[in-house]
């Protein structure tokens, strides 16, 4: 029998081990298919099931009643996958308990793809989070998953925002006020930053996180804002006209022929 199987048997049938949680806190350790959680990127393959082992260390003076173990992945403050597994057990004070279970990830391929911040949580009977551990999940899902389609939608909206701003610039339809012109370009910049964050995640370069999201989004928004602020005034080509005069649209003028004295046109 493999070492993972022995670990699960010890956790399920023995259940209680020496505590190694210090202070008045509850912490957890976990492995997924034998890989410790939190040390490296965690491979989540939708083509099969994952063997998850969770050890809860209760450093408090009261018994903690655990009911649910949750595995979830988020990006840009949105949850793209979440799996709740009911595994009820009690953790006595100052002791540790290990439980293992098999999690079917068959639906994960339609929910996300790429690198995503992933969290493993244990919840009590009131569904309050008792303890959690974070990691970077490497989800081998489809580009047409919910996360992939979300990225494509943000990309499309960003293209529309840039097209609207640039067409208005070319047709001299932007506001005369510089700050209003800058605000017209701002949504396109924000969208560009979001597209960069999602693209790096899907391409498995960098997982979305505040440290990665803020520089991209704020930087792209600032560049677009400055570009909008520096765009030329829509009436700049009419600055050569005398004071008090207004530009004349050639297409709006008509040639009027009047008869001259003597019958000559």
Q: Which domains does the chain have, with CATH numbers?
A: 13-139 (2.60.40.10), 146-234 (no CATH)
CA-to-CA dists, residue 227 to 181, 185, 230, angstroms: 9, 7, 5
Predicted confidence at residue 24, as pLDDT, reads 78
Coil, strand or helix at 69 = strand
Predicted confidence at residue 210, as pLDDT, reads 86
Predicted confidence at residue 13, as pLDDT, reads 36
Predicted confidence at residue 22, as pLDDT, reads 46
Residue 191 φ/ψ, nearest 5 degrees: -60, -40
Predicted confidence at residue 7, as pLDDT, reads 39
Q: Along the chain (265 residues), what's the average pLDDT of each consecutive run of 10 residues?
A: 40 40 78 84 88 93 94 93 93 93 92 94 93 93 94 96 94 90 95 96 92 91 94 67 50 54 55
Tell me if 67 sits within 8 A of 86, measured CB to CB: yes
Closest CA to 207 of 142, 37, 84, 216: 216
Predicted confidence at residue 163, as pLDDT, reads 96
In the chain, alpha helices (H): 3-9, 146-170, 178-202, 210-230
* Max CA separation in the chain (angstroms): 122
What is the b/e burial string over 75-87, where b = at least 16 CB atoms within 10 angstroms of the residue's CB? Answer: bbeeebbebeeeb
Q: Can you tell me the distance from the alpha carbon of 201 to that of 78, in angstroms, rounded to the nearest whole number?
A: 14
Closest CA to 79 of 68, 71, 89: 71
| Cβ atoms < 10 Å from Cβ of 166 | 13
């Amino acid at each position: 029998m493999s070492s993972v199987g022995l670990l699960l048997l010890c956790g399920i049938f023995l259940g209680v081990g020496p505590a190694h949680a210090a202070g008045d806190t509850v912490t957890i350790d976990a492995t997924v298919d034998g890989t410790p959680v939190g040390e490296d990127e965690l491979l989540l393959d939708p083509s099969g099931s994952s063997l998850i082992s969770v050890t809860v260390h209760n450093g408090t003076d009261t018994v903690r009643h655990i009911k649910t173990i949750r595995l979830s992945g988020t990006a840009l403050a949105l949850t793209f996958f979440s799996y709740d597994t009911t595994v009820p057990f009690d953790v006595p004070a100052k002791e540790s308990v290990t439980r293992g279970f098999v999690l079917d990830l068959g639906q994960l391929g339609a929910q996300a793809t790429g690198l995503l911040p992933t969290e493993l949580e244990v919840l009590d009977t009131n569904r309050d989070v008792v303890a959690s551990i974070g990691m970077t999940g490497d989800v081998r899902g489809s580009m047409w998953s919910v996360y992939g389609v979300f990225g494509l939608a943000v990309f499309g909206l960003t293209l529309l925002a840039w097209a609207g701003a640039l067409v208005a610039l070319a047709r001299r339809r932007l506001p005369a006020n510089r700050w209003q012109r800058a605000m017209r370009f701002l949504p396109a910049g924000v969208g560009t930053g979001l597209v960069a964050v999602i693209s790096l995640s899907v391409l498995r370069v960098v997982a979305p996180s505040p440290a990665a999201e803020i520089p991209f989004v704020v930087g792209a928004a600032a560049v677009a804002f400055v570009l909008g602020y520096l765009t030329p005034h829509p009436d700049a080509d009419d600055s050569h006209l005398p004071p008090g005069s207004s530009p004349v649209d050639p297409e709006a003028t008509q040639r009027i022929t009047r008869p001259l004295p003597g019958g000559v046109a």
